[in-house]
Amino acid sequence: MAYDSSIISIDAARLLDRIEQLGQIGRDGGDRLVRLAGSDEDKRGRDALVSWMKEANLEVAVDKIGNIFGIWRASSEDDQAPVMVGSHIDTVIDAGVYDGCYGVLSGIEVIQTLQAAGFVPSRPIVVAAFTNEEGVRYTPDMMGSLVYAGGLSVEEALSSVGTDGSVLGEELERIGYAGCEEPGFLKPHAYVELHIEQGPVLEKEGIQIGAVENLQGISWQRITIEGVANHAGTTPISMRSDAGYAASRVISFLRDRATSSQTPTVATVGCISFEPNAVNIIPSRAIFTVDLRDPNEHSLQAEEAALAAFLTDLAAAEGVKIATERMARFEPVTFDATIVKIVEAASEQRGLTSKRMTSGAGHDAQMIARICPAAMIFVPSIGGISHNPREFTSGPDLVAGANVLLDVISNLASDHEK
């Protein structure tokens, strides 16, 4: 069933109110939003989400990794592959209220709007909330969608030990979200994820909708440099095996290479620690992370190889030992061209400006793209700020994105898409 998008729109007040309500669940004593996977705060967020799914008359299912699905079936006999929409509701520490949550809640809103309009989908529509997307308490990030897509066994994921010593499987059991469905029990016909951009491009260029056509590859490594601790005042510079200085050389190398590159490569050292970490002692050990990203797999491999060669030369030059540990590695993803075009067409029909773009952040969509056609929709982030309580997207932009999602999902779930 088709409908005129000029007269059908989501309930803006309902969507914005739910975003605000969910954003208050998980506040700590300092009013920080902290809703880590498997925590009591996560349970309260999940409980609210399930209540809204039931309010929308959705069938709720939970799989063994704790992914939550709200399923709208046109009929009890409809066994076609569903159109899936979703994201996640776990957060980082001291988070904003939109990251992930906006996409999940917009999915529910889309279904309720279609139901009220009398729309009868030709295939089921499913809202998914994936477990542990942020990867703060348990690694890897995007865990729930990775397991769902078959990239990680459910047994390995459930045995993950958290930063606090907890075990994910035990925590999911404790909070009541260790489901019985096998991950992957619903294979989607298509998957669409609505998300705030988490970057400054749309706002800076005055564009309302991002039609995300690809997603950067991600390479995470932990590097340990072993030097020799010694007195900071009595050891000549030429006689030092300084792990701290060697680490600084790596940081400078990464920045200089990215700056001079003709590719959109980005490199970040986000965590670093020194031992013994004293003001008057030359560091004997430096441990730090390297985050490399590029939308082209060949370019990403070239950056990894360049870093490896630099580390070999650095170890010899500075008299240190260097070890690397792979933390995570995801290849770049090219999203489905047909869905991207549908996003662009829906934006134009709504009178909204749009542009094709690359996602610099990882998302559940990159995992689900392994098993079905997938794409993403972005809306502007003010100042490009995310993973921060100052994360903000205006109400009109949130509503515009949800309306585009409404049109895309109705298109994908219509008769001509059988």
Residue 241 inside a domain? The answer is yes
The 3 state secondary structure assigned to 276-321 is: CCCCCEECCEEEEEEEEEECCHHHHHHHHHHHHHHHHHHHHHHCCE
Same domain, 165 and 196: yes
Q: How many CA atoms lie within 13 A of 69 on its CB side?
A: 27
Same domain, 174 and 142: yes
pLDDT at 76: 60
Provide the number of structural domains found in the chain. Answer: 2
pLDDT at 415: 67
Same domain, 338 and 298: no
Instruction: List C-alpha distances in Å: 300 to 160, 177, 305.
Output: 28, 37, 9
The length of the chain in residues reads: 418
Query: Which region, left, alpha or beta, applies to residue 147 given φ > 0 means left and ψ of -120 to 50 means alpha?
Result: alpha
Answer whether residue 417 shows pLDDT above 60. no
Average pLDDT of span 244-258: 98
CA–CA gap between residue 176 and residue 128 (Å, rounded): 17
Range of the domain at 18: 12-215+332-412
pLDDT at 334: 95
Provide DSSP, 95-133: --S-TTHHHHHHHHHHHHHHHHTT---SS-EEEEE-TTS
Domain of residue 79, CATH code: 3.40.630.10
Residue 2 inside a domain? The answer is no
Answer whether residue 77 shows pLDDT above 80. no
Same domain, 370 and 297: no
Same domain, 23 and 88: yes
CA–CA gap between residue 343 and residue 358 (Å, rounded): 14
Instruction: List C-alpha distances in Å: 333 to 9, 35, 189.
Output: 31, 28, 18
Same domain, 234 and 306: yes
Same domain, 58 and 176: yes
Answer whether residue 139 shows pLDDT above 60. yes
End position of a domain, from candidates 330, 358, 383: 330
pLDDT at 7: 75
Q: pTM of the full predicted structure?
A: 0.89
- Mean pLDDT of all residues belonging to the chain: 95
H-run or E-run covering 53 = helix 40-55
β-bridge mates for residue 212, sequence order = 357, 376
Contact 297, 332 (CB under 8 A): yes
pLDDT digits (tens, 9 = 90+) for 279-337: 999 999 999 999 999 999 999 999 999 999 999 999 999 999 999 999 989 899 999 99
Same domain, 319 and 366: no
Answer whether residue 261 shows pLDDT above 80. yes
CA–CA gap between residue 116 and residue 98 (Å, rounded): 25
Q: How many CB atoms lie within 10 A of CB 123?
A: 22
pLDDT band at 4 (very low <50, low <70, confident <90, very high): low
Residue 1 inside a domain? The answer is no
Same domain, 133 and 278: no
pLDDT digits (tens, 9 = 90+) for 184-233: 999 999 999 999 999 999 999 999 999 999 999 999 999 999 999 999 99
Residue 6 inside a domain? The answer is no
pLDDT digits (tens, 9 = 90+) for 145-189: 999 999 999 999 999 999 999 999 999 999 999 999 999 999 999
pLDDT at 263: 87
Task: Give me the amino acid identity at 29.
Answer: G
pLDDT at 74: 76
pLDDT digits (tens, 9 = 90+) for 8-23: 999 999 999 999 999 9
Answer whether residue 6 shows pLDDT above 90. no
Answer whether residue 121 shows pLDDT above 60. yes
Does residue 188 have a cis peptide bond before it, meaning omega lies within 30 degrees of 0?
no
Answer whether residue 122 shows pLDDT above 90. yes
